Structure 1
């Protein structure tokens, strides 16, 4: 409406100018031809404008109306009329428009067109004089200046757009985070509002998510780690939780689909990593001041195809993030998604507290548990409050994906089931696992419950099997057996399914926590502990040895001529050598020994309760094992040897630095003595 009103006003102005032009010609006794030509061109102009407005209402006529006015003005001037152009101001408006639309070439062509028109008009009206020359010169000068300014502005805008496109193209795709169960419930907004329920919900959610963002902050070590969550029934995301070195965080930050930095991530639902971030940090929305951010990772939090929010890490360093950081953030993102899904289940249980008060207690305890055994014990302990049964059997899948009996309750009779493999094709439990669908049987049938070897289960009649989900596949099963016929009615089905869903999410959370914990303390290539964890363990072992008065030893070794492996065979073979050595050492350590990668090709082993003599024996055994087991890749054999240095507490030192220094000196002597030896 506003656009049409503006255009209508524009037409009124143009029509007024033409009326004045025609009156001027009457006053100057112009010929009938002059007046007729002006009126005809005016009518044509208005007709075309009307057609454009009627059939193309969204067209922007403002850039083109001055051009039509110019075409109308030229015949009037050529045939006589005003001594000066009544439409000079049109040129100043039209020149910038022509520059923006056509560029420099179009502007030059237009200036030539204007000069020819004005000179022809002046020639026919016989008014070529000094004033005319000055007017034309000023017009050309202003046109050139305006055109130059607009051309530069347009070029800078194009460069900025190209830079933004380049940033988007530099993205690297992570796999979609694991989806979770209970897809029908709606996540209540966690943004603080007037209602007490929303505030309490946010407080509870913060308690669940805060440990995860703390691990992100300590493991990836960004300048800021931020989590945005989606607002209910809106297309915006609010700042939910953060940890940052910055004092300029906007607690009320909101991201929308129109926010340029996040637009691509929201649209494509793929992660973005940019190690050359050149924009103002305030464009990230959660800063109130430019913090000179140079690297950023944005990970979408996806449940199936639904975008629940973002996990964002930024850094002041260029190339501040690596592929390993992306993999770590992927694990953390999955953990956040699992926690969000667990929270949904918690919140839903609160809404229906009269029916699910016991489930609420289970969910509360599961949310505080990060170990598989603890989670399963909670399930076994509280499941009788949900449903009546005589035997609970918890089935999980092993590393190969095959189901086995993990726990039973009560387990006093065992029924020859503990750790037994489930018969997939010939048992009721196997049918549930294979089809990934629940199954209820009201009475005993010939098909066994679990295996052909099961004993003592003939007294059980009713069977209720519920699969445990991860994504769209079964990772386990909850089975309830009862000695009563038709013990599991449809009314009892929903709480048990909900219990299984809760346990699935808690189990996945425990597995992800274990992976996250391993990721933060282990070396990604070799699987040995990393340098940081080694230092903590060494300090703890020194404290323990001082209290007990018992010695312990430290072995430090590196691979002989490791540089030649990389130079002669390539870094891939070098990596295989590191993994090969680590595998040999880990297989031959005691459970109490601590094996870590110190750095590069150097490794260390902490040997608790071990004297110098015992450490030298262990070191020689390790050296011989490595020497006798060369690395074999296809038909190629790569002999590998190591040099080992030994230091013992307290005789060689009573703190971290002293022991490491002594072990390093011993390692140096081993190299000096010809390598492949122990000192």
Structure 2
């Protein structure tokens, strides 16, 4: 046998080592393992022995709980614990105790480290407890079928079901039932003893199920109580926030996200409660009073509600008290402290009728408006009246409490103002980034929805060509016909029809001034809006020009407060400038891509779109046809009738071409009196149908001139990709050749490249 290799010291990578150094050290660490693996392959026991022993030891340790469970369970099934205690039973119980102790110690150590128990660990621990309970019960049976310690099994099972996972608990119940069956079989499987075994197994199962059900019910009840407590606390915080004027039920509340408002209110209430608690503690220590309490005045100034209290008495009531009665009411009415001593009778804040011997109440008077916010009160059960110095101290504490409330209110206002300013500037920036009209409409409605409650929104603009007409260009909300908004898209009405939108545009002001019923008022022309309780119309103005209006509606009454209206008015001004800028952008883009005389696509844009359509046709194996047409004898029209009439003819033919073409076609002015149409996914036959339709409609046109009516005709040439040309120059050349063939052979006709190829094929 060869000598075992000496153990190598661990090789660790230094801090900050490079990847190359780490790979080399990893190789050094792996060499002993490679040597041992090689020794195992060669049968070298000297090298393989330590590894095998360590693995065997770990396997035995991992299997020890299961082995102990099986061994003790087998002894229980064989009734090994029923006989008088001997060394075998003592040894088995000792091993069981050691195994249980080791598992419990390991679980405690892992729990301290923050590790959760896995299913295997729970099952091992629970199985040992079950067999231990059966061993203890059997050892106390003294040979009888029924043990005095049998209830221990039920209690252990209930305990395990309560603290272990449901699946583990079910497995332990199955183990207990199995042991009961084995015990019955070990006693000879007599039918007379079967009911007793069934009763034991049933009790184990019932205990587990009932305890799990009760525990689950308790957990559910605890969670429900916790949820209700949280809801009560949140309602209390909301009530206190409103009482402290941290939030008010005003229309502008909807401007802030609910989550941000909730967090602000929670933080402010907690800070105020801490300040109030500190002030009351100071009052108790300095004034040596029995009860020190803070009562807050309701918004309608009719009741006083207890907010916080320091008193050994449990009788201080939580119910609201009338604000006009007793010493508390006197402090509210007089707005000055009330000091009483002797037998104070008019005390209503003790539910059991307790009468203090001295009382001092100081109102919390807001210096900004002189309003009373609450009353801080102290009393004594000893006939020791409060002094003037103590009254000054209590007044000072009341002022500190009110100052804490004011400070939190100020902080909340600062945060809210900052958030509103940030949102306002973000909205303006969002509008300034828009370039197209559709983007401006969407941004305007979106910004308004972020600022106020919006259940319905619409944008109406004056027509650029005819400013006396107004058209609705965007509608959001008002789904279905619940608001009467169905069919508002592209609705046109006159500026002078007296509706709210036209009036707001005309007078350049926000309407309506006072609340009205939108269901009974004409908003868009003759259209009214149903289901809305709030409505505001903001004019869209650029310089001195009113170009339209923004219409907002909400189902909640009073949704648009004064501050919100002012902000939205500024937003509307920026939106109007964005709309005007987008119109100029569209106009510039249109001028760059269209012909100024006819309004059709110009020659440069026609070439670009023809390239694009030919590329798609080549990529997807489609056909694309090109139609070139020319007005017959157009030079004689200019010479005879003049160029203004010629321009009139060009515009009329262009309108006819645009109407006769399909929506996917590109209609362009090719040059002079020539026009072109690109027809994607169209073969020669389809292109010839469209060409003939155009030719016939142009032939039906009549132009009135000073010299009399004028009619013109068209000659057309058609070529199809890829049949008549695989490249753009070849396709245009073939279509142009067909056009001149039509003009040389009589004009007023449509000629395709396919029809010109047919005679040559026949001749061949």
- TM tier relative to shorter chain: 0.3 to 0.5
- Rg: which structure is higher? 2
TM-score normalised per structure 2: 0.40
TM-score normalised per structure 1: 0.45
